[in-house]
Amino acid sequence: MASAQNPDVRLLVLDVDGVLTDGRIWMDDAGQQARAFHIQDGLGVAMWRGVGRTTAILTSKRSKGVAARAGMLGITLLEQGAEDKLPGLERLLAAANVTAEQTAYIGDDLLDLVAMRRVGYPIAVANAVDDVKKVSRYVTKRQGGEGAVREAIEHLLLEHQLWDQAIAAIGADR
User: How many other β-carbons are positioned within 10 Å of the β-carbon of residue 28?
Assistant: 8
Average pLDDT over residues 132-156: 98
| Residue 86 placed within a domain | yes
> What proportion of the chain, given as a percentage, has pLDDT over 90?
79
Q: Tell whether the model's pLDDT for residue 156 goes beyond 70.
A: yes
β-pairing, 33-34 with 26-27? antiparallel
Q: Is the pLDDT of residue 1 over 60?
A: no
As a whole number, mean pLDDT of residues 124-144 equals: 98
102 within a domain of the structure (yes/no) = yes
- Tell me whether residue 5 is in a domain: no
Higher pLDDT, 95 or 3: 95
Q: Tell me the per-residue pLDDT of 71-124, one tens digit each, with 9 for 90 and over.
A: 999 999 999 987 789 999 999 999 999 999 999 999 999 999 999 999 999 999
Sequence-ordered list of residues with C-beta below 8 angstroms from that of 5, at least 6 positions apart, any chain: none
pLDDT at 5: 63
Task: Answer whether residue 84 is part of any domain.
Answer: yes
Please indicate, yes or no, if residue 6 is contained in any of the structural domains: no
CATH number of the domain where residue 76 is located: 3.40.50.1000
Q: In the chain, how many domains are there?
A: 1
Is residue 4 situated within a structural domain? no
Structural domain containing residue 153: 11-169
Q: Is 56 helix (H, G, I), strand (E, B) or coil?
A: strand
Answer yes or no: is 2 within a domain.
no
Angstrom distance (rounded) from CA 28 to CA 148: 27
d(CA 120, CA 85): 16
Report d(CA 46, CA 84) in Å as an integer.
Answer: 28
